[in-house]
Structure 1
Amino acid sequence: MTPLLLLHAGVADSRMWQHQVEALSATHRVITPDLRGFGDNPVVPKYSDAGDVLALLDDLGLDQVAAVGASYGGYVLQQAASRQPDRFTRLVLLCAPTDNVEPDEALRALWAEENALVEAGDVEGATDLTVRRWIGPEADDGARELVRTMQRRAYELQIPAGDVDNEEYPVLPESLAMPVRLVTGAHDFQFFADSAAYLQDRLPNAERIDLPWAGHLPTLERPSEALKLIL
């Protein structure tokens, strides 16, 4: 079976793929790790998310994979693929940021509000904020509760860890010659549409799909439609 790597968003963990894994496993060897500070993967003082991904592929003996990255997971995927482009046969980037694109004011304001809540010790308030702002209008109550559970777990791991050193690799879009599908949501922050436009202008083999119904987490908002985009 073709190996398929799924990297989760920064407001989620590997559980965000629960609606797609069974169907994808029929045709692919599906790999769904938790990045550092999410799910079952604790934080360490110094690490590299992209380096961890490449080391995981080494450990699994995988020379090449297709890969899907949601949001921050898509950014990690760009770093890893820029470092070892021959290792990735296809990429799907769902609402992913990239280098050299500035966040919009609404997103900056959200981050400031979240940081203020966390610094005040109101972790539940910060979690509620995440659920309100990071998942689109098509999501049902189960999806929203899953985001709440995943974000609460991330805070449990990340807040006690304090400041950490996460080495980032440069993103080199011009070197990523594999087919890349860029997916954006009309209800998402402008930053992610701007990132997709930036990448589309520089990637040698890219297509972009904008979803009029989607927010930031389309795999949780309309799971079956998101599965078709991945396949």
Structure 2
Amino acid sequence: MPEIDIGGRPIIYDVQGTGEPIVFLHAGLADRHMWDAQLAHFSASHRVIRYDQPGFGESPLPDDSVSYVDDLRQVMDTLGIDKATLVGCSLGGMVSLEFAVNYPERVSRLVLVGSSIVGYKPSAPLPELWEKARQAYENKDYAGVTEIGVQLFVVGRGRASEDVPDDLKAYVYKHYYASNFGQNARPEITWPVRSAVEHLSEIDVPTLVIVGSLDTEQIIEMANLLASSIPNAQKAMMENTAHLPNMEQPDAFNEMLEEFFSQR
């Protein structure tokens, strides 16, 4: 696979198609392959870039802290991309937000999927499962913590596990465990001093905020905040999906993005 060298660290990426660039940034419980359906669809009309952030997928863990925002800038620089649409899910949404605030001239559109916000503490109560996860972690039951993560973010609120495809649960289990407890245990992340939470009203690009109806109350709260605070933002709720709506309903997700991209 092609790679980009950033300070001696290889970043594994894919690029496909021609046209206006779209950079897809994966969630913290996945890798670049969470965007398989989007790469196949949008590369017919756009230049599509996706990559494994350090400590995920095939991009190795750095020895020290890492700035995912600076990595995105260097990926775009290396690939000759002056300006792009950013589509980020969860952790990828956080990176996209911070990038848009710190490098506004390099972002043409934002799509934020189940995104958290650096520095924001939701008022919604934590799910009861968090306490079980904490206890499992203290007991070094990392498999148990991972199972709870799958329940929270893949199965979602009020849905039975058997109603979610086994391959999706297995995919997230693998990457959630690897990035939290395995060989890719998550690095220390350095975020920009100029934090997005204090500058949401300054984001001046068309923004689509997508959230699954079965995602956690905290994520839905942050989606509402993003949609109400970013001047040119609209929100879309994807029914019967949890934290990875693009994987659960790829056709509906792609159609939603196509409609958003067609707006001028």
TM-score, normalised with respect to structure 2: 0.79
Contact 1:4–1:67 (CA under 8 A) maintained in structure 2: yes
Greater Cα radius of gyration, structure 1 or 2: 2
The structure with higher relative contact order (CA 8 Å, sep 6+) is 1
Percent sequence identity over aligned pairs:
27
Kindly report which structure 2 residues correspond to 1:166-185, keeping only aligned pairs within 5 A, or say none.
166-169=189-192, 170-171=195-196, 172-185=199-212
Distance 2:113 2:80 in 1: 26
> Which of 28, 34, 53 is the matching residue for 1:10?
28
Distance 1:117 1:41 in 2: 28
- In the TM superposition, what is the alpha-carbon distance from 1:48 to its structure 2 partner? 0.7
TM-score, normalised with respect to structure 1: 0.89
Contact 2:204–2:231 (CA under 8 A) maintained in structure 1: yes
The aligned residue for residue 124 of structure 2 is 104
Distance 2:40 2:228 in 1: 34
CA RMSD in angstroms, aligned pairs only? 2.0
The aligned residue for residue 146 of structure 1 is 171
Contact 1:135–1:221 (CA under 8 A) maintained in structure 2: no
- Distance change >3 Å, CA 111–CA 36, structure 1 → 2: farther
Contact 1:101–1:198 (CA under 8 A) maintained in structure 2: no
- In the TM superposition, what is the alpha-carbon distance from 1:118 to its structure 2 partner? 4.0
Read off the aligned partner of 1:10 and give its amino acid letter.
G
- In the TM superposition, what is the alpha-carbon distance from 1:63 to its structure 2 partner? 0.2
The aligned residue for residue 140 of structure 2 is 121
- In the TM superposition, what is the alpha-carbon distance from 1:150 to its structure 2 partner? 1.9
The alignment of Structure 1 onto Structure 2 pairs a total of residues equal to: 227
Distance 1:103 1:33 in 2: 33
Contact 1:38–1:157 (CA under 8 A) maintained in structure 2: no
Greater share of helix? 1
Give the gaps of 5 or more residues in structure 2.
1-18, 259-264
Distance 2:95 2:129 in 1: 22
**Deviating 4+ runs (over 6 angstroms):** none
- In the TM superposition, what is the alpha-carbon distance from 1:119 to its structure 2 partner? 4.6
Give the gaps of 5 or more residues in structure 1.
none
Kindly report which structure 2 residues correspond to 1:11-160, keeping only aligned pairs within 5 A, or say none.
11-44=29-62, 45-98=64-117, 99-102=119-122, 104-107=124-127, 110-136=129-155, 137=159, 139-154=164-179, 155-159=181-185
Read off the aligned partner of 2:190 and give its amino acid letter.
E
